[in-house]
Amino acid sequence: MNVHGIMLPASEQSERRRANPWTETFAWLRRRRMFMLIVVLPTLLVGSYFYLVASDQYESEAHFLVRSTHTAEAPAGIGMSQALSMVTGASSSQSEAMSVADYLTSHDAVATLRRDNDLVGRYHDRDADVFSRLRPSNPTPEYLLRYFQGVVKVNYNSETGITTLRVHSFRPQDSFAIARRLLELGELRVNMLNERSYHDAIDMSRRQLAKAETDLAAVQAQTTRFRQTRGDIDPKASGEAQIQLVSTLTGQLAAARAQLNAMGGMVNHGSPQYQALASRVSALQAQVAAQSGRLTNGNHAIATDISGYESLKLREQFLAKQYESAATALDRARETALRQQLYVVRIVDANLPVKALYPERGRIMLTMVLALLLTYSIGWLIVAGVREHAA
Strand order across the beta sheet in which 58-68 lies:
152-156, 162-169, 58-68, 342-348
- 120, 134 Cβ separation under 8 angstroms: yes
Res. 11 pLDDT band, cuts 50 70 90: low
pTM, full prediction = 0.66
Can you count the helices (H) and strands (E) in the chain?
A: 14, 4
Q: Which residue has the higher pLDDT, 225 or 299?
A: 225
In angstroms, the CA 34 to CA 192 distance is 61
Q: Convert 247-281 to b/e letters by CB count within 10 Å (16 or more is b).
A: eebbebbeebbeebeebeeeeeeeeeebeebbebb
pLDDT tens digits, 99-119: 899 999 999 999 999 999 999
Q: How far is CA 102 from the centre of its chain?
A: 12
CA–CA distance, 37 with 328 (Å, rounded to integer): 81
Instruction: Identify the pLDDT of residue 318.
Output: 94
> What is residue 70's predicted lDDT score, i.e. its pLDDT?
65
203-259 pLDDT, tens digit each: 988 999 999 999 999 999 998 888 888 787 888 888 888 889 989 999 999 999 998
For residue 246, how many other CB atoms are within 10 A of its CB? 19
Check residue 241 and give its pLDDT: 87
